[in-house]
A and B are shown apart, each in its own frame.
Chain A
Amino acid sequence: MDNNNAVEILLVEDNLDDAGLTIRALKKHNLANNLLHLQDGEEALNYLFSEKVTSIPKVILLDLKMPKVDGIEVLRKLKGDDRKRVIPVVVLTSSKEEKDIVESYKLGVNAYIVKPVDFDKFAKAISEIGFFWLLLNQPPK
């Protein structure tokens, strides 16, 4: 059942620099052991909806603005699927646009975090997300 190698955090982020910062912030608190980084929405959907993957991540950190399939689309697909809609999704984005926030919550996002420019604040936010979703939150079995 509980696989040690099972993916705990799925990071969907097209910007490698941003992804590097996120992973570094998580690593600092030893939260990035079972992290999978995918670089756009298409990859994410392919991964999540593939037959081979049986376990579900504890949290998906989802960027919104990505090439090909964007974050909103990924969110729509996930929350529209009976089996996948239970996966907690945290939108992690630069956008403070009201439109995006409203749309994300309508689609059933579990949290919406705006990435601060200030790295100290950014690192703090990321580690708090990690602590909350990996350690505090009780996911559905």
Chain B
Amino acid sequence: MLRFYFNRRIVAGLVAALSILFVLAYLSNENKLRLVANSDSVAHTLDVLFHAERVLSHAINLELGQRGYTITGNDTFLLTYAAARRRWPEELNRLRQLTVDNDLQQSRVNDLQHTLRKLTEFSDSAVQTRKVSRENAIKLNSSLEGKGLLDGVRRIVAAFQAEEHRLLAIRSGRNEIGISRYNRTFILLLVATTLILLLIFYAINVNLRARIRTENRLKIALHEIEDLYDNAPCGYHSLDENGVFVNANSTLCNWLGYKRGELLGKVRFRDIISEADQALFEESFPKFKATGAIYDMEFTLIGKDKRELPVVLSAIAIKDKDGRYLKSRSISIDNTDRKSAEMEIKNLNQELEAFTYSVSHDLRAPLRSIDGYARILQEDYSQKLDAEGERVINVIMNNARRMGKLIDDLLEFARLGRKDLQRVNVDMTGLVNSIKKELLEEQKGRSIEVDVKSLHNAPVDIDMIRQVWINLLANALKYTGKVPHAHIEISSTKSDHSVEYIVKDNGVGFDMAYVSKLFGVFQRLHRPQDFSGTGVGLAIVRRVVEKHDGQVWATGAVNQGASFHFTIPTNNG
């Protein structure tokens, strides 16, 4: 934009300068033509003056020749006389031609002709008279008629010449004004041209400097980009359609131990990955070329020195206008840390699995024995036991069973933590109604109303969410156990991104001061003798809901019921 602006100014300046030069050339030519015309008119005037002078001199010679002959009678004078008499009409004709465009001068030429004719007639008669009588001729001359006619010629010529001088002066004056105007214009235009050229020079200079600055900045930016590409903390490369390297940054080259020249155009990507990854690459590369993108592929790079480097690779394809694959823009991130972390997690998970496996086997067996043998004692030795003995045995059995339940719940809690989500869109109303039916089977004899509204569906893991509903509904049933008429309402509301489910009861409720303890493992707000329980149920609810990226919370007040809420996002990913 800036460059274009300068260019336009420069072009405009050049056009202006050239125009002025053309104007100058035109004016110079005009001036030259004027000068030529002027010198022509001066020459013309001089010509006119010359011929007028000649006419006058012929008139004088005519008179002079006649007088000389009259006085001396010498024929030599007649030669002069005859020559003058013969020539003046020629000269006069010439003069008439030269002043043909001037009416005043033409009338003067006519006057002159008239006067000269009279003079010629007088002279002729004087010469003829002299041939007869000298005295009569002198007498004729003494009449001064000749002199008067010659003076007339002189006067007319003088007037004629004065007029020509006047005309010349006018022409010269006009010419001078033209020349000085021309000179002024010329200088003005010259100055203007000079200024314009200076401006053009300045503009070009500014333009050039801006260009150099931009170029320098570009060079710096280019260098920075190259540096970013080359020395980024991740590998960059590009593969052509055959999977051959067409570009690679220094980081990747260093990882692999290849020089760039050894890679580009020579080595295929499959040549530098592990045997185990070959099938993955064979499968994913055509897919990548078709779809244009691939993300988070795990490969193990094999360096020149056979060193292994696990990387995570993502790539976007560069395609031409027709959508044909040209090359990839690929990024590889060193995955060593993540890999070892993954291994660590795997090991920890294995340990945890071994632990829970052991717990489920080894802790349950002794409990079963305690319960079982206490039962045997009760069955086989009842006649030997008194009431206290019976009570003690019941305490033993109750505790063993309670511990068994605790272990089962804990294992379930641990199991849910490790399980992967399998989301499907679940018919919540149907699910909750079937759970309600199941749980109400165990509550016969109580007055219970469970109102299941029409619930919104959501994408959930059905096994996990079933456990959530069982726990929440079982809780509601348990904590309404002491009210004469239990009322439980299950409903849902839908917002843009999630569904909120609510289980509301009219049971004993809880003190909001302890709400933070509600969802913790082994946290209970009630004594076992009031309400039995292990304190794991709500912890499982929380774990499942959080696994679904939802939230769970509760509100309530002592003896005023409780409501439990959880949300499930509907547009995950």
Contacts and interface: CB of A to CB of B under 8 A. Distances in A.
A95 B371 contact: no
Interface stretch (A2-10, A15-23, A29-37): A15-23
B371 A119 contact: yes
Contact of B357 (A17, A95, A116, A122): A95
Contacts of A93: 361
Contacts of B335: none
B411 interface: yes
A119 B353 CA distance: 27
B357 A117 contact: no
Interface stretch (B108-116, B372-380, B428-436): B372-380
Given A97-B357, A117-B404, A118-B404, A18 B369 contact: yes
B360 A96 contact: yes
Interface in A60-102: 64-65, 93-99
Q: How large is the interface on A (under 10, 10 to 19, 20 to 34, 35 or more residues)?
A: 20 to 34
Contacts of A15: 365, 369
B365 A18 contact: yes
Contacts of B364: 94, 115, 117
B368 A117 contact: yes
A26 B357 CA distance: 28
Interface residues of B, number: 28
Contacts, number: 63
A17 B376 CA distance: 12
Nearest to B373: A17
Contacts of A21: 368-369, 372-373
Contacts of B373: 17, 21
A18 B369 CA distance: 6
Contacts of B367: 117
A115 B360 contact: no
Nearest to B371: A119
A117 B360 contact: no
6 cross-chain pairs, A with B, having the tightest CB-CB distances, nearest first: A117-B404, A17-B369, A119-B372, A21-B372, A94-B364, A119-B375
12 contacts: A17-B366, A18-B369, A94-B364, A95-B361, A96-B360, A96-B411, A116-B404, A117-B367, A118-B401, A119-B372, A119-B397, A120-B375
Given A21-B372, A118-B401, 13 more contacts: A17-B369, A17-B372, A18-B369, A21-B368, A24-B376, A64-B361, A94-B360, A96-B411, A116-B404, A117-B404, A117-B407, A118-B371, A119-B375
